[in-house]
């Protein structure tokens, strides 16, 4: 270590304890973000420790990227600079839990899988199925407002956060909201911090709204054959009294890969996966109505056995990881669209991928208008840039937007994965300056280079 690095190491160690600071190059290299390697990894054991580290970083102009399990750090521009990896993994306390109030206050480093196990003892859950699966942390989920298919029924993190505690670059712990389900006292900093990607402050604790677990769950698969019929089916379901937990439309390739253990295999066409929760009579009602809808539209439907459904949903909720693990290079795009436009967008995207001769698997949460595209194969490296530009144009022409969640190597890293910011960018810039005047938090990673 150079003298400067050593001196930072000892200052950090004095703050949070020697065992909570790592400066070994190999360990640091493993936490690289966008090709930049930090010099230290700091894992404070208390919220106060996080605040102290942040103040130290601001005072010494050290760039910090907060992280939980790092499951979503691929998203964003490469940092302008990166000195400290600030790990929240040691913050795993439950501070307040009253099952009958359906609220819990937990620290940011708690893994969602552990939290669900804990809540399950009382028959409760946090109805979230974010990217990163069970190991995603509460703090990371909130910082990225990450949500999976369940948001169709329950909304996203933004809707479940009742209160937060945030460490600021001034070294303070600031709270907003509380642990009651209704609260309008003061500005809602929860909304501002949720989805701010660690650029304003570091969420150290959150109070969350809990829900009773559905008594039982069941899964149906409908095979509409074409995107046109998939659209009609989506309209029928959303216009019916049925209340699915979630709906995911897979294209033919995605359906085949999932069922054949990531080997390309036969799937007859696109599949609409629908999960339903509730009492036996509620499940029976869904079975009857979905079968009837399928019949009247000439769409085959089948109920998936409980065991198969469970493992399929685990894969469906972590599809991006499956692809990253299975293929040498993949690009992940997320389009957010008006609900009515999902299928039309999918048709554009499919044509685009075919024209560039790359493979595309699509996972569309058609109930809420969120479409994930995974691209690989062919000359992805060469065509990535053009593909993104064209797909983004298609999303925009349908009234939506496109974010590059994971780059392919050919995508110009200097280009903005977020897309053009709107007319509120200046206001966002000023908010960033108010929270992080020195610009040490995840510098340059967010929308518009914030």
Partner 1 sequence: MLYEYDGLSSLRPPDVVVFPRTTEHVVQVVKFAASHNLLVVPRGAGTGLSGGSLPWEGGILIAFARMKDILEIDLENQRARVQPGVVNLDLSLAVSDAGYYYAPDPSSQKACTLGGNVAENAGGPHTLLHGVTTNHVLGLEVVLPNGEVIHTGAKFLDSPGYDLTGLFVGSEGTLGIVTEITVRLLRKAESVATLLAIYDRVIDATRTVAAITARGITPAALEMIDGFTLRAIEEATHAGYPMDSAAVLLIEVEGLREAVEENALQVESVCQENRARQVRRAKSAEERDLFWKGRKNAFGALGRISPSYYVQDGVIPRTRLPEMLEFIGQIGTKYDVKIGNIFHAGDGNLHPIILFDPRDEDESRRVREAAGEILAKCIEMGGSITGEHGVGMEKINLMPYLFSPDDLDMMRKIKEVFNSAGRFNPGKVLPTGKMCGELRGQMVAGGVL
334: number of Cβ within 10 Å:
20
Scanning 53-61, 107-115, 250-258, 399-407 for contacts with partner 1 by CB under 8 A, the matching segment is: 399-407
Q: Among candidates 296, 304, 315, which has minimal Cα distance to 274?
A: 304
User: What is the distance of C-alpha 276 from the center of its chain?
Assistant: 22
Could you say which of 10, 308, 311, 424 contacts partner 1 (CB under 8 A)? Answer: 424
Of residues 284-303, which lie at the interface with partner 1 (CB under 8 A)? 284-285
Of residues 242-271, which lie at the interface with partner 1 (CB under 8 A)? 242-243
Of residues 125-184, which lie at the interface with partner 1 (CB under 8 A)? 145, 151, 155-156, 158-159, 168, 172-176, 178-184
> For partner 1, which is the closer residue by CB, 377 or 419?
419
> For partner 1, which is the closer residue by CB, 385 or 416?
416
Q: How far is the CB of 343 from partner 1 (least distance, A)?
A: 12
Q: How far is the CB of 18 from partner 1 (least distance, A)?
A: 29
Binding flags for partner 1, 8-47, as an x/- string (CB under 8 A): ----------------------------------------
Q: Among candidates 272, 237, 238, which has minimal Cα distance to 254?
A: 272
**Residue 117 binds partner 1 (CB under 8 A):** no
Binding flags for partner 1, 319-358, as an x/- string (CB under 8 A): ---------------x-xxxxx------------------
Of residues 190-219, which lie at the interface with partner 1 (CB under 8 A)? 190-192, 194-196, 200, 211-213, 215
Identify the H or E element spanning 65: strand 64-67
Which two structure tokens, joined as six digits, stand for 304?
Answer: 């998936």
**Helices 306-317 and 252-259 meet at what angle, rounded to 10?**
120
The bridge status of strand 40-42 relative to strand 21-22 is antiparallel
Could you say which of 238, 287, 297, 324 contacts partner 1 (CB under 8 A)? Answer: 238
**Residue 55 binds partner 1 (CB under 8 A):** no
User: Distance between the two ends of the chain, CA-based, in angstroms?
Assistant: 31
CA 324 to CA 377: how far, in whole Å?
12
CA 156 to CA 368: how far, in whole Å?
11
Is 9 within 8 Å of 40 (Cβ atoms)?
A: yes
260: number of Cβ within 10 Å:
12
Scanning 34-42, 130-138, 355-363, 415-423 for contacts with partner 1 by CB under 8 A, the matching segment is: 415-423
């Amino acid at each position: 270590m150079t003298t400067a690095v050593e001196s930072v190491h000892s200052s950090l160690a004095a703050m949070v304890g020697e065992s909570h600071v790592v400066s070994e190059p190999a360990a640091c290299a493993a936490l690289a973000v966008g090709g930049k390697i930090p010099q230290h990894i700091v894992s404070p054991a208390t919220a106060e420790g996080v605040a102290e580290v942040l103040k130290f970083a601001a005072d010494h102009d050290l760039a910090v990227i907060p992280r939980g399990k790092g499951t979503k750090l691929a998203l964003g521009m490469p940092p302008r600079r990166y000195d400290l990896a600030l790990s929240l993994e040691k913050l795993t306390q439950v501070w307040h839990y009253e099952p009958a109030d359906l609220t819990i206050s937990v620290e940011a480093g708690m893994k969602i899988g552990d939290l669900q196990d804990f809540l399950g003892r009382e028959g409760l859950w946090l109805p979230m199925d974010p990217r990163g699966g069970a190991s995603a942390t509460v703090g990371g989920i909130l910082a990225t407002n990450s949500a999976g298919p369940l948001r169709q029924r329950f909304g996203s993190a933004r809707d479940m956060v009742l209160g937060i505690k945030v460490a600021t670059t001034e070294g303070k712990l600031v709270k907003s909201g509380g642990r009651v389900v209704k609260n309008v006292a003061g500005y809602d900093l929860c909304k501002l911090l949720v989805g701010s990607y660690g650029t304003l402050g570091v969420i150290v604790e959150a109070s969350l709204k809990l829900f009773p677990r559905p008594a039982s769950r069941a899964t149906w698969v409908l095979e509409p054959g074409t995107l046109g019929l998939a659209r009609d089916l989506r309209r029928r379901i959303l216009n019916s009294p049925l209340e699915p937990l979630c709906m995911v439309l897979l294209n033919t390739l995605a359906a085949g890969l999932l069922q054949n253990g990531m080997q390309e295999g036969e799937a007859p066409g696109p599949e609409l996966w629908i999960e339903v929760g509730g009492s036996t009579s509620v499940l029976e009602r869904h079975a009857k109505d979905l079968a009837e809808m399928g019949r009247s539209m000439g769409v085959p439907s089948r109920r998936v056995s409980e065991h198969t459904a469970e493992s399929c949903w685990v894969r469906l909720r972590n599809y991006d990881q499956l692809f990253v693990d299975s293929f040498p290079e993949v690009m992940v795009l997320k389009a957010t669209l008006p609900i009515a436009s999902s299928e039309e967008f999918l048709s554009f995207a499919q044509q685009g991928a075919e024209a560039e001769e790359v493979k595309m698997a699509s996972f569309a949460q058609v109930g809420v208008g969120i479409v994930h595209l995974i691209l690989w194969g062919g000359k992805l490296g060469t065509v990535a840039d053009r593909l993104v530009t064209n797909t983004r144009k298609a999303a925009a022409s349908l009234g939506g937007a496109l974010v590059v969640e994971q780059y392919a190597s050919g995508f110009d890293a200097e280009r903005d994965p977020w897309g053009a910011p709107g007319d509120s960018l200046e206001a966002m810039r000023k908010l960033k300056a108010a929270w992080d005047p020195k610009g040490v938090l995840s510098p340059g990673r967010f929308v518009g280079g914030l």
